[in-house]
Structure 1
Amino acid sequence: MPLFRRRSGGEGAQDRAGRRGFGFGRRGAGSPAATGSAEPRLDPTYGDESARLALRQAAAGDWAALRPTLAAADGAELSFLVGAMSDVPRVEQWTSRALADTPDDTLLLLLSGARHVVWGWEARTAARAKDVTEEGWKVFHQRLDVAEEQLLEAAEREPSWHAPWNFLQMSALGASLGPDVAACRFEAAVRRAPGNAGSHRIRLQQLSAKWGGSHEEMHEFARSAMLAAPEGSPLGELVALAHLEQWLALPDGEDRAYLTSPAVVAGLQEAAFRSVLHPDFVPVRGWQASFNAFAMAFSLADQPKTARLLFDALDGCVTEAPWHYLSRDPVKAFRAHRDRCTSYWR
């Protein structure tokens, strides 16, 4: 889902980072490792070969090969896989044809609905609302209408699934369905997956000033969600994302002063050490998104020591958000900030 891009541009970081270690919990396959020297790359599968195969199958339109993978996925894994596939170009073409033949296939309906949400945002583009063309708005809403119908049907058929509600949150945001619908869909999503970071990120956007909310609502939600979650939960990243959203809204000069202010730096430190840098943090699928959010926030806040902890753990794994706020090339932005933070402590 495109967001407005912004190009821009570090410490007295707490020594407790060194005393407590990385706090990454029990390391396993795909867990953070303090290396940080790999060439930065965007990888929606986070290095998972089975997920890469699934994306290749989605690109090829091989539903017969792909369906067993989705059928075997649990709630969070299904949401992740469908989300990754929804970004694959032309998925809407073969899913529409396949649905004509097998309209009762709920997995196929879910994938088609999710793709129509992302496909709709592609038509809208990342431009500010006032710069979107009339045709762009028309196509955007046409595609979202299809997504709404398909996702609501999928949710009705499979009441326990989280994935339809996750994408219905995104659809509600784009279609401006109002705060009541947005809140209802978020509540439906978190009932099925209480700690899901993706649904919380969408809710944060819904409450942001640029989508009709306010900075106050956004910060309150971020902090409340962090404190309600157990220590070691990735939801602390919401605090970092909220500060980045407010930074994004400020004019040049004021934005840097905001992020480097003692209160904001203290809030970032509290959130990081309560979540991704806490000893109880256990990496799950997509942990890299939380680390990228904190790495960017600490780097912009002139906290290179803490930022380097996160960059080292990421070992070059870049997520598009939130680096797209800095550049149309997230990898370039990531590399520049990582190298600056690394060289500072050589």
Structure 2
Amino acid sequence: MFGRFRRTFTPDTDYAQADLQLRDARSRATSGDWNAASQLMHATGRDWELRSRRLAVLGIAAGHAPQWVDAWETAIPGDPTVAILRAEGLLELAGRARGAASARNTTPEQFQEFHRLAALAADASERAVTLNPEDPYPWVLRMDSMLANGYQHRDDFPVALGEAVARDPHHFEAHLTAVTFLCQKWYGSHEEMFVAARGPATAAPAGASVVLLPLLAHFEYALREFGFETRAESLAAKKEYFHRPEVIEEITWCATKWRAAGEPRLTGRGITLRHWLALANHLSDRDREGTRALLTQIGSYLGSTPAYGYFWMRQADGFHAVTKWAR
């Protein structure tokens, strides 16, 4: 199987990954049929993780080509989902303005535009919170907007997190944003980051997506401690960290609990989580056979998996390296 995979494999970088319904609805919406996106989100219902991921992907399209969202809002003024897409679209533009480089390699102009757009996103997220009182995701968008001026929001951030998890205690995007905000390269420390990852992972039921958050914390730790500016050039030192017995033990614990309720789905964050586990297995040189099974499920769906960029200069390079190792 992997011989054929090697000859034909081209990473699919669509953010929708394996969610084919989402791909179809987005395509139809951006072609002028906004009702396709509306119907998809109505059908998603209160599946908060799937809803959040679909809104995030649709929000990227809303940021770069908002005409279909404009038409939706004209047809249904005050639609709660439109409010979320407005906020998500602004956050997408803010992230693009800042870029993915370290602070040292980001220009003042990039930071200025990042802060400007994030402030607009914060205002939009407040409206989304008002129009979507039961949905945790608008609070996640509020948390995301705080990344632009996090030191000013050290008191506000836990309030927003609390509101999100009050609506869904194991909300993946909420806890993911907390791990990001509290990591050392943003506004926290290694200790705060690991608490933000391990607390939800321990409290969640088997099979919950947050169970794998400690893997991200280890990726963040290795990035910061072993060559933050050099990335790929320090791969050997980063891999040595993942060979520590206590790191391998935690990877194994996370993987076991994540699978304990049956095979996790591919939609929502299912593909991203499989990438995380495959990457952790590769870095720690564990469970090559299990990684092959993960890659079979992943197929060519890369989407955007920033964790690969912590160890290689391009995400696709990391995906290929893990695939080669698993063979």
Shorter-chain TM-score category? 0.7 to 0.9
| Unaligned segments of structure 1, at least 5 residues | 1-33
SS of match in other structure, 2:122: helix
- Tell me if the contact between 2:16 and 2:303 (Cα under 8 Å) persists in the aligned partners: no
Deviation at 1:263, TM superposition (A): 1.3
Cα distance in 1 between the residues matched to 2:138 and 2:80: 10
Q: 2:280 aligns with which of 297, 303, 308?
A: 297
Cα separation, partners in 2 of 1:278 and 1:55, compared to 1, 3 Å: same
1:210-250 per-position Cα deviation (integer Å, ceiling 9, x unaligned) = 11211112122222211111122222211111111111112
Cα distance in 2 between the residues matched to 1:36 and 1:262: 35
Q: 2:271 aligns with which of 288, 305, 321?
A: 288
- Cα-Cα RMSD: 2.7
1:308 aligns with 2:279: no
Cα separation, partners in 2 of 1:93 and 1:129, compared to 1, 3 Å: farther
Give 1 or 2: higher helix fraction: 2
1:168 aligns with 2:153: no
Cα separation, partners in 2 of 1:78 and 1:230, compared to 1, 3 Å: closer
SS of match in other structure, 2:52: helix
> What is the one-letter code of the residue matched to 1:52?
R
Cα separation, partners in 2 of 1:271 and 1:47, compared to 1, 3 Å: closer
Q: 2:260 aligns with which of 274, 278, 282?
A: 278
Deviation at 1:198, TM superposition (A): 1.9
Cα separation, partners in 2 of 1:46 and 1:245, compared to 1, 3 Å: same
The equivalences for 1:193-212 within 5 A come to 193-212=168-187
Segment of structure 1 superposing worse, 245-254 or 107-116: 245-254
Cα separation, partners in 2 of 1:194 and 1:203, compared to 1, 3 Å: same
> What is the one-letter code of the residue matched to 1:332?
D
Cα separation, partners in 2 of 1:185 and 1:335, compared to 1, 3 Å: same
1:69-126 per-position Cα deviation (integer Å, ceiling 9, x unaligned) = 3344323243222100122252345545765786523322221111001111111111
Identity %: 24
Q: 1:55 aligns with which of 6, 12, 26?
A: 26
1:69 aligns with 2:44: no
Cα distance in 1 between the residues matched to 2:83 and 2:207: 35
Cα distance in 2 between the residues matched to 1:336 and 1:310: 14
Cα distance in 2 between the residues matched to 1:96 and 1:328: 37
Segment of structure 1 superposing worse, 332-341 or 91-100: 91-100
Find the counterpart in structure 2 of residue 323 from structure 1. Answer: 308
Per chain length, whose mean CA-contact separation is higher, i.e. which structure has more relative contact order (CA < 8 Å, sep 6+)?
A: 1
- Tell me if the contact between 1:36 and 1:316 (Cα under 8 Å) persists in the aligned partners: no
Deviation at 1:130, TM superposition (A): 3.0
| Unaligned segments of structure 2, at least 5 residues | 227-233
Cα distance in 2 between the residues matched to 1:272 and 1:287: 13
Deviation at 1:335, TM superposition (A): 2.0
Cα distance in 1 between the residues matched to 2:125 and 2:277: 32
- Tell me if the contact between 1:166 and 1:199 (Cα under 8 Å) persists in the aligned partners: yes
1:182-216 per-position Cα deviation (integer Å, ceiling 9, x unaligned) = 21112211222222222211111111111121111
Q: 1:224 aligns with which of 199, 219, 227?
A: 199
Cα distance in 2 between the residues matched to 1:201 and 1:335: 25
- Tell me if the contact between 1:319 and 1:330 (Cα under 8 Å) persists in the aligned partners: no
Segment of structure 1 superposing worse, 164-173 or 247-256: 247-256
Deviation at 1:330, TM superposition (A): 2.2
